[in-house]
Amino acid sequence: MMKHLLHILLWSLSTLVAGLLLLLGLFWIREWRPAPVEVLDTAAIADNEPVLRRGDTVRIVSWNIGYAGLGNDMDFFYDGGKRMRTSQARTVENLQRILRFLQRRTADSARVDFILLQEVDLDSRRSYGINEYDSLRRALPGYESWMGLNYVADFVPIPLTDPMGRVKGGVATFSRWRPERVVRYGYPSGFSFPMRLFNLKRCLLSAAIPVRDTATGQLDTLFVNNTHNTAYDTGDMRSRELAFLRNYLSDKPYSITAGDWNSCPPGYRPSRAALQDAHFRPFPIGQTDFPSDLRFVYDSRTPSVRYDYEPYRAGSTTTTVVDFALCGPGVEAVGCETIDLEFKNSDHNPVVATFVIR
């Protein structure tokens, strides 16, 4: 009898293992493998086409919108909470409020030139299949737009009680000015097998915007870069991403790089709670990690992110600064403000920054 039960147990175990290996093989075959460099758009700029000029003021909004699912009601399982998504009604409400905020920033006399968004979903279970990118495009008709995918997976199996399932999303750039070229650069960081099958493959979305010198007619290029760096480091992932950025920006004096760095900028001192959290710890960018002629621009008075181990409670939930900009020596920063929305519709606050092209 015992021998018979042992045979059944071994057969069941071997069948389970074989099934898991078969499933893993299927995920590997279906794995999303983006190229290191993907040209998303190119355009010839006509001589009479309006372009930026030296001396012009440039305004940007950078915002991680948290796939419209990480408002102040949410705790998130990756950060020590329990949930994977909020209700569908709350997701729709969050997205509508995000759209209205951005529309207000594009309608006045000081309208922004560029909108850099992170965690924008195209078709994901966590956001109920809503195509948020299309919603944004419809809400911002005066802007051209491009999407740099960084998370594509047929099925993410965690949390086990309510799996994330299908995910498709990334970073999105909106521009009032026509670029000559838009490129997705894959960051040289990534998870090892099999974790990479279910995880993000981070990228930099770079738009090359013509800038004319009105005195000589010469055209230069302003590189507007949208970044969303690694949050859950398994080694030197964030260091490798920063090294990539340092090299990429080395020959680009006219550049603005903004987004969710998941790191703290040089000179900013995060709280002890921010550094001792068991799930997320911001990477400290050092004063010498980038050349001295590149300038970090951030608002140290207002937190840009809150930790998701619990629904947001003002005054007690841990917060810090990880959303900011970096500008090249040909660009002068003249203002930066993190808009305190009390994390109502995203676990990040939007950052509004103003620059002058020198």
Whole-angstrom Cα distance, residue 312 to residue 229? 23
User: Are 228 and 102 contained in the same domain?
Assistant: yes
Provide the token pair at 75.
């705790």
Domain count, the chain: 2
Contact 346, 62 (CB under 8 A): no
Contact 102, 136 (CB under 8 A): yes
- For residue 27, pLDDT beyond 60: no
User: Are 2 and 101 contained in the same domain?
Assistant: no
Task: Dump pLDDT digits (tens) for 118-157.
Answer: 999 999 999 999 999 999 999 999 999 999 999 999 999 9
User: Are 5 and 108 contained in the same domain?
Assistant: no
- For residue 281, pLDDT beyond 60: yes
Query: Average pLDDT, whole number, for the chain?
Result: 92
Contact 166, 125 (CB under 8 A): yes
User: Are 249 and 301 contained in the same domain?
Assistant: yes
Helix/strand/coil for 219: strand
Helix (H) or strand (E) holding 93: helix 88-107
Q: Where are the alpha helices (DSSP H) in 108-236?
A: 132-139
Strand partners, 338: 351
Half-sphere exposure (Cβ direction) of 74: Cα atoms closer than 13 Å: 29
Give the pLDDT score at 22.
Answer: 59
Task: Dump pLDDT digits (tens) for 162-178.
Answer: 999 999 999 999 999 99
Spatial CA neighbour of 201 closest among 150, 148, 260: 150
CA distances from 111 to 161, 176, 346 (A): 44, 10, 22
User: Are 134 and 15 contained in the same domain?
Assistant: no
Whole-angstrom Cα distance, residue 89 to residue 101? 19
Contact 28, 197 (CB under 8 A): yes
First to last CA, the chain: 86
The pLDDT of 50-69, averaged and rounded, is 96
User: Are 24 and 40 contained in the same domain?
Assistant: no
Burial of 18 (0-12, 13-18, 19+ CB in 10 A): exposed
User: Are 159 and 97 contained in the same domain?
Assistant: yes
Q: Which residues form the domain of 151? A: 36-357
User: Are 301 and 340 contained in the same domain?
Assistant: yes
Whole-angstrom Cα distance, residue 115 to residue 352? 9
Residues of the chain above pLDDT 90, percent = 80
Task: Dump pLDDT digits (tens) for 71-122.
Answer: 999 999 999 999 999 999 999 999 999 999 999 999 876 799 999 999 999 9
Q: pTM score, two decimals? A: 0.94
- For residue 314, pLDDT beyond 80: yes
Give the pLDDT score at 194.
Answer: 76
CA distances from 88 to 95, 255, 272 (A): 11, 38, 35
User: Are 236 and 201 contained in the same domain?
Assistant: yes
φ, ψ of residue 230 in degrees (nearest 5): -60, 140
Provide the token pair at 213.
């010198």
The CATH code of the domain that includes 291 is 3.60.10.10
CB atoms within 10 A of CB 258: 26
Task: Dump pLDDT digits (tens) for 232-245.
Answer: 887 799 999 999 99
User: Are 76 and 21 contained in the same domain?
Assistant: no
Give the pLDDT score at 198.
Answer: 81
User: Are 21 and 169 contained in the same domain?
Assistant: no
Give the pLDDT score at 201.
Answer: 96
Helix/strand/coil for 253: coil
